[in-house]
Amino acid sequence: MTDGTAVLGGLDVKDDFPIFARRFDGRELVYLDSGATSQKPEVVIEAVANHLREHNANVHRGVYALAQEADAAYDGARRQVAAFVGTQPQTTIFTKNVTEAINLVAYAWGRGKAPGQAGAEGRANIGPGDAVLITQMEHHANIVPWQVLCRERGAELRYLEVDERGEVSLEQLDRELARGDVRLVAVTHVSNVLGTILPVAEIVARARAAGAVSLVDGAQAVPHMAVDVAAIGADFYAWTGHKALGPTGIGVLHGRREILESMEPFLTGGDMIASVDFQSATWNELPYKFEAGTPPVAEAVGLGAAVAYLGRLGMNQVRAHERALTGYMLERLGDVPGLRVVGPPEAQARGGLASFTIAGMHPHDIAELADRGGVCIRAGHHCAQPLMRCLGVSATARASIGVYNEPADVDALVDALLAGREVFGL
Amino acid sequence: MPSSMPCSRGARCSAYEGPTPSTHQLLPHEPLMDDLYRDYILDHYKQPRNFGELEPHDLEALEHNPLCGDELGVHIRVKDDRIEDLRFHGHGCAISQASASIASEELKGMELAEVGRLGADWMIELLGIPVSATRRKCALLNLKVVRGAVTGDHAWPA
């Protein structure tokens, strides 16, 4: 049996990614760091190059044919991206990355006024006595903007605890919401450290029932599983292009239309205005109100090509492939003495990654020694220092997979870890 | 059908019965000579010298490596403008722990003025291994913390 991948819904697409033709000291690239950024298929590289070569002009201003091509390419990418996650282009805002998307919400919504409230000024969305509720497993991008906002507004930042399985408790969520002060619930969809898949639709529904706005950080979810933003129902859903086979420099924020319309802009300047006089300006319609300045056009085109590619693979196929490979990785990591995986033990409860420690070896040394075996993994706090403290470690090593990975990559990792233990005399 | 995922490209796994290709794996029992993780580095890592608390102490500092969240602190006792004794505490990788351990033996007895003049080259030469750009801060964290305690300059050693 040399190729049984189809039996388990596996994918065999490594050849679509030109970087895997590279050799490092004669060795193949074993890339297990897709949680940090994904590799890019030829169709994405070509889409970006072709746009720059054939269709480059600034968008939204030119009347000439070339500018109209650029407009069509940019708007077409937005339609593709919105459709990929089951939502509308008008409420799909291109940002730089997830960090910018969350900051957009923290500034433009968090510091703004709620509409339809009594009094001319309305009520601040986040003010003294209010609370923002997040989880202990958030990336710094979904912690620090709320810390800054809460400190500025005299609000409280509270956390849902992560249990020993790497999950949060809906009962604790209910208790927090019952206190009546939670104005925003912001959670990750898939933890970048634990791999935990959170029940985001359930969390969002409970937040809404309690009158709280919701935000989901989908950076580690959208590239790896079918995500339906409308079905999840979050008021804000953010994700990023470079983890989803697309270029760097383009992120996505989906927002609920009524809320986006009620918000003041985040960044101001060109492109986001309807008209400007010497003392004031009026704002452009959605989504342009939130896209000040020349946007990342070629990057958007590249992301459009990326989601088209993922769509052709089929996100259920992608998930099945990665789940099977994650199960295989968890099983094989058990062959390494002293290795402890953090997060949910079952592959079906986690995204395609495993964070681990090895007794007697610091994660930095683990990653360095994995590289000796030609294997790219990450080590450190993964921008989640509060979670590291909960886990009682300063850092972990993390192997994360993408559509192009295969069982041989996992075998190479395990071989490199075993060889690394020998270097350390373990 | 095994529960694990069959391989599409070979290498050893439970579902694969063909020959084992040798494209990118180290053989598990191949003797290993490692440029970075030399015996003395691992010795200092596993049995770090001058680690722990030093009470009472005259100077102290605590620094973090932002790359990995590692932390390293130092307690220093001063006599006649020299480091009479010192202890490091904290946690980090083999490179950062071994660097601190090796440096501690050199720093004992050193004049404070000389500590202030120590640069990155001093530490890298003392360490005696090729340190890549990404691991440089691991090697220099101890010097950063010691210089911080002695001079108040918390910049990374240049």
- Whether A424 and chain B come into contact, CB under 8 Å, resolves to yes
pLDDT tens digit string along A229-246?
A: 999 999 999 999 999 999
Q: What is the nearest CA distance from B9 to chain A, expressed in angstroms?
A: 6
What is the average per-residue pLDDT within B21-36?
54
pLDDT at B20 over 50: no
Which candidate in B25, B40, B134, B136 is best for mutational testing of the A interface (most A CBs within 10 A)?
Answer: B25
pLDDT tens digit string along A193-233?
A: 999 999 999 999 999 999 999 999 999 999 999 999 999 99
Helix (H) or strand (E) segment spanning residue A238: strand A236-240
**Annotation marks residue A390 as catalytic:** no
pLDDT tens digit string along A313-340?
A: 999 999 999 999 999 999 999 999 999 9
pLDDT at position B33 is: 62
Contacts of B8 in chain A (CB under 8 A): 2-3, 5, 10, 12, 406-408
Sheet holding A353-358, edge to edge: A339-342, A353-358, A396-400, A378-380
Residues A331, A42: Cα–Cα separation, whole Å = 32
- A127: three-class secondary structure by DSSP: coil
pLDDT tens digit string along A387-397?
A: 988 888 889 99
pLDDT at A46 over 70: yes
Query: If pLDDT is split at 50, 70 and 90, which confidence band does B141 have?
Result: very high
Residue A340 neighbours by CB distance under 10 Å: 14
Contacts of A380 in chain B (CB under 8 A): 67-69
CB contact under 8 A, A415 and B7: no
Which residues, 6+ apart, have CB-to-CB distance to A16 below 8 Å? A41, A42, A43, A309, A404
Helix (H) or strand (E) segment spanning residue B101: helix B94-107
User: What is the chain A residue with the closest CA to B46?
Assistant: A360
Which residues, 6+ apart, have CB-to-CB distance to B128 below 8 Å? B38
Residues A185, A167: Cα–Cα separation, whole Å = 16
Name which residue leads in pLDDT, A381 or A72: A72
Name which residue leads in pLDDT, A70 or A122: A70
What is the average per-residue pLDDT within A348-355?
95
Contacts of B26 in chain A (CB under 8 A): 372-373, 415-416, 419
pLDDT at position B67 is: 72
Contacts of B16 in chain A (CB under 8 A): 1-2, 407
Query: If pLDDT is split at 50, 70 and 90, which confidence band does A123 have?
Result: confident
Averaged pLDDT of chain A:
94
Beta bridge partners of residue A400, listed in sequence order: A33, A353
pLDDT at B24 over 90: no
- Return the percentage of chain B with pLDDT > 90, whole number: 67
Residue A276 neighbours by CB distance under 10 Å: 12
pLDDT tens digit string along A255-312?
A: 999 999 999 999 999 888 888 999 989 999 999 999 999 999 999 999 999 999 999 9
CB contact under 8 A, B5 and A325: yes
- Whether A121 and chain B come into contact, CB under 8 Å, resolves to no
pLDDT at position B7 is: 35
Q: What is the nearest CA distance from B54 to chain A, expressed in angstroms?
A: 23
pLDDT at position B32 is: 52
For residues A197 and A227, is the Cβ–Cβ distance under 8 A? no
pLDDT at position A2 is: 38
pLDDT at position B64 is: 86
What is the average per-residue pLDDT within B50-78?
92
pLDDT at position B4 is: 37
What is the average per-residue pLDDT within A99-114?
94
CB contact residues (below 8 A), chain A span 9-28, against chain B: 10, 12, 14, 27-28
